[in-house]
Amino acid sequence: MRLADLIPAPYRVLVVGSLLVAVAGGAAAMAWQVQDWRYGKQFAEQARLYAETLNQLALAAAAQQRAENDKRLALEQRLSASEQTHYRALSDAQRDQGRLRDRLATADVRLSVLLAATDSASGCAMPATTVTGSMVYGPTRAQLDPAHAQRVIGITDAGDQGLIALAACQAYAKEVSTPK
């Protein structure tokens, strides 16, 4: 006896239909499984490529950051050297001005000015020759009062400091604006 003979006819259609549905469902599930494997491989490949791209971008950004940091450090070192040079020039000028002020104060040195042979404003003529006993030859000179000489030295000191500061500012602007 067969299994088909045991099942009544109206139920046979139902059993055969159920079997067909089960087989079709299993085939569909198998198709979904195969498609899932195939798409899973594609998604995994896309994810790997995306991760590689991100890694390359990160490495490029890090290299660019290192290059910018190196440029900044080089500029800072050049500016520091320039600042030291200008500071040295300023301190040398101040030291020299201080020595000159001290020498003027102790009458070791006298500041004098060159006079014209004739003063047209006052109408008085100055002798063009030196006084007997003087060791200065050439045009007539007049010595400045030590207080006036100190003021003149102070003015030249301020001018020297201004010129040195200007040179430092120009060097700084040149270093900062010149791309390297």
Contacts of 114 (CB under 8 A, 6+ apart): 139, 140, 141
Q: Identify the band that residue 68 occupies on the pLDDT scale cut at 50, 70 and 90.
A: very high
Is the Cα dihedral 48, 51, 52, 53 positive or negative?
positive
Compute and round to an integer the Cα radius of gyration of the chain: 50
Find the mean pLDDT for residues 43-48.
89
Residue 54 has pLDDT above 90, yes or no: yes
Q: Identify the band that residue 7 occupies on the pLDDT scale cut at 50, 70 and 90.
A: low
Q: Identify the band that residue 151 occupies on the pLDDT scale cut at 50, 70 and 90.
A: confident
Residue 128 has pLDDT above 60, yes or no: no
Tally of helices (H runs) and strands (E runs) in the chain: 3, 2
Find the mean pLDDT for residues 24-41.
78
Greater confidence (10 vs 129) lies with 10
Q: Identify the band that residue 55 occupies on the pLDDT scale cut at 50, 70 and 90.
A: very high
Find the mean pLDDT for residues 12-40.
77
